[in-house]
Structure 1
Amino acid sequence: MSPSAPATTWTVTSWLGADPSVLDDDALLVGTRELGELRRLVEASLGSFAAEVKHRSRREDGFAGLAQRLGAGTPEKLVEQVSGVSKRESHTLVRVGELLTVDADPWLTAVGTGVASGRVSIEKADVIRNGLGAPNADVAADDLADAAQQLAALAPTLPVEKLAARARELRDELDAANVRDRHRAQRDKRYFTLVRRSDGMTRLDGLLDPESAEPYWAAYDAATSPRRGGPRFIDDQQRERAEKLVTDERTLGQIALDTFVDLLRIATETDPNRLLGARRHAVRVLVTDRDLRERTGAAYIGNHPDGVPLETADRHICDTGIAPIHFTDDGEPLRLGVTRRLFTSKQRDALAARDGGCRFPNCDRPASWCEAHHRIPWKEGGPTDTQDGVLLCRHHHMLIHDNHWTIERDPVHGFIAIPPRTVDPGQRPIPMPARSPVAARLRH
C-alpha cells in the first residue's frame, strides 16, 4: 500500500514499518494515534500474560513454581527477562495484568475494561490503582468503583501526572478521616542518597513528600522561571536578572543545581547559634476556616493536590516563611498570614541565644536547624514573644503538633513537655532545659 494514500484506507497494522517522512499531516497524526492504541492493546495482552506468570509462580508452589523453577526468583524478574522490559515495567505489568483476571478487585472493573479495550494504558491504570487504594471502614467499594469509572473515562485525555493527582484527590474526598495516615505514609517513603561514581561525579537520588518538596519547588521556580517562560510584567531589576538567565550558557539543570549548591553553602557557613535568616521561600498553606474550626478535612501545601493533616497547617503557622491562607465556605480567600504572628529576626536571635538549639529532651540539633514554636497557638490568642516561644527542630516541631504534645512553662526548667496519653497514660512532664552556655551557668 502506498504510504501517500489517504489515511482512511490504512489499517492499524499497516502503519507498522511505514515511512512517516512521506505522510501528510493528517495521515501522520492518524498513524500516531492508531499506533498508540495498538501499543496499549499489546501492553494489555502482555499484562495478562504477566499476571498468568505470577499465578503459575505462587509462593506456595515453592521451587515447583514457574519463576523459581526457571531460576528467576520472582515472577516480575521472569517477565523482565523473557519480555525484555525494564524492572519497573515488569512490576507494573504484573500489577495491572491482575486487573484483567477473574480475581480482579471489583471496584477497579472499569479500569480493567479500559485497559483491555486499549483506551487506558498500563501506566495510567497503575496510577489509578495506586491513587484510589482499597476500601476500608470509611470508604465503601461502591464509592471507589464510581471514582474508578470517572478516572477511566478521563484517562485517554489526561497526562499521567494529572491523572495520578486526580486519583489521589478523589481518595482524599472519599476518605478525609485518613488524610493523616496517608500523609504519614508519604513521609515514610522520603529518602535522599549521595553516590560517588567511578568518573568522579556524584549522583543525587531521593524522594520528597509534598511538605518537604514545596520549599524546593519555590526555590527552583525562583531560580529558573525566566528560562521557562516566566512572567512578563516585572520591574527593571527583575527584568535584568531574567535577561541574564535567558542568555546564561548553563543548561536549565545546571542553573538549578548551582542554585541549590549555593543555598547549601550559605546554610553551612551560618553560625550554628544563629538562626538561618529571618525569612525563607514562602510556602502557602491553604485551608478553609470551617475545617480549622471543626477540625475536619485537610489542608493543602501550595498547589499540591494531596491533602495534609490540619496539624501540619497548625505547625506551619508557627514558623516564618509560611503564608497561611484561609478560605470562606464560598471559596473566597478570607485572610492572609501576617508578620505579626511570625517571630522577627531579633526575636529568633534571642530564642537562639536562650535555647541554644532544639529544646526537646535529648535533641542535639543546633539553633540554625530549628523553627520557632508558639507554646500557645497563635490562632488561640498565643502571643508572638520570646517568653512563650520555643525552638524546636523540624522533626520535634512536627511531633509536638502531629501527635498532640503540649508545652508548659516551668519555674525550674523554663519549659516542660507533656506527652499525649498514647505515649504516657500518666502524662508525666518531661523537662526541656535550655542548651545555651549562659543557661547552663544560671543552673549552677
Structure 2
Amino acid sequence: MNIHEYDKRIHWFNMQLNILKWDRDFISPVEDEYKKNELINAIAIEKHKYIINNFGTVFEENSHAYRIFYKDYLYSVGLPDELENEISNAVNKCYKYYKIAKENNDFSLVENDFYKLICLKREEIGIINVQGEDNYDKLMRYCCGDYFAEKLDFIMNTILKSITTQNIRYSEKTDFKMLSIEEMKLLYQNYGINLETIVFQEDINNSCLQLTQNDCRMTYQSHVKINAAKHEMGHILYMQNILKNEEYYVYNQPLSSVFDEAIALLYELIIDNESYFQNEQYTRTPIRIECTDILRLLHIIIRYEIERDIINDKIGVEEIKTRWNERFYELFGYEVTSDNEGILQDPHWFCGNFGYFPIYNVAFAVALIIYKILELNTANKNQILLKLKKHILSFGASKTEEEILLKLGVTDFCRDLENVFEELKNKHGGCFYTANLNNENELS
C-alpha cells in the first residue's frame, strides 16, 4: 500500500472520532450519549483493525511519516478488539462516576470503577510491543518517545534538586485575574490568533481540539483565569502556524505532545511572566492549575511518582489518596484538606489518560531552553511569534524532536537543562537553591 493512501485513511478515522466526541459532549441530547459512545467505540475498533491489517503492506519505510505510523502500529498490534472495547467502556463509566465524586468531594464514589480501569490499562500496556525496563517505561516511550523518556528521571530529579519550598513565603491571594470570553478573545487577537477559525464552547474545563487546520474548538469556563487562557492560547498558536503540508496529513499537527505543551507553557508561565521566577510570594494552593508559578513543577512530580507506581503495580488504588496527601505535605509543607484539593482535582487518570502528566515537566524544561536560545525576553509579541514559527511551529510534525533541538543548537539536552536552572538560581536566588535540601525531597 502507498503510504499516502494509508495517511489519508488514518486522517479520516481521526477526523470522524474527533467530530463524534465533540458532538457527544456538546451538541447531542444527553439521552443520546450511550448511542454516541457505541458509535465512537465501533469506529475506534475499525481504526484499530485497519492499522493491524494494512500497516504491514505500507512501503516507503524511510520516510518520517512511516516512523510516526509505525509507533501506533506497535501499540495496536497484539491488542485484542475486545480489550480495546472494554477499556473504552470502562473509561466512559469511570469518568461518569468521577464527575459524581467531584460534585460530592468524595473519592470513594469512583474508587471501584477507577480500580477496574487501572487493571485494564495495566493489561493494555503489558501487551504493547514497545521496549522498556518496566510497564511505565514502555508507556512513556510511547507517550513522549525514546529521546525524552530516557531523560525523564533526570529531568524530575533536576527539578527536585533545584526547587525547595523551605522558608518560602506563600501568598494567601485568591483573587486571580479573571477574563470574560470577550476579554479572552481580545487577548488572543493581540497575540496574533485568527479568531475566525475557532469555535468557542463554554464548559467546566478549559481545553482545545483541532478538527482540521482551519477548525479549532476551544472549551472555556465562564470566567477564565488569565494563566489558563494563555495556556490554551499557546496550543492554538501552534495549530494555526503550522505550514500546511500537502504531502502528508500526519505532518499537519504539532510535533509532539512535549513540544505542544512547551509552547503552551511558554505563553502561560514564561513569556511576559518572568517575575514568576523571583522569590517574592508564591501561590498557596493545592490546585495544580491555580499554581501560576514555578511550584507547578512540584505538583506534577506528585502525579508522576504515583502513576508510575500505579502502572507498575507497586501500589493499590486504596493507597493512592493517602500517598498523594503525604507527598504533598512533604513537598509543600501544608496539608490537603479535601479530595477535590487532592486526588480528584484532575480528570486525566479517570479518563484513562496515563502518561501525560510527566509531559508537562518535560515540556517546561524544553520551554526554558527554547526561551533562552531564541531570546524571547522581549515585549514584541509579533517578534516572538515569528521566531517560534521559523524554528518550531511551521514544521508541524515533519521533523523529530531531536532534529528541531539540534537545529536550535541543543547537542546535550541534560547539560543545557542544568545550565538553565543554574542561571535561574543565580539570578533569582531565593526560589532556586539547593542548601538545606533534605533527602526526602529526592524522587521517591
Q: TM-score, normalised by structure 2?
A: 0.28
Higher strand share: 1
Higher relative contact order (CA 8 A, sep 6+): 2
Say which structure is richer in helix: 2
Larger Rg: 1
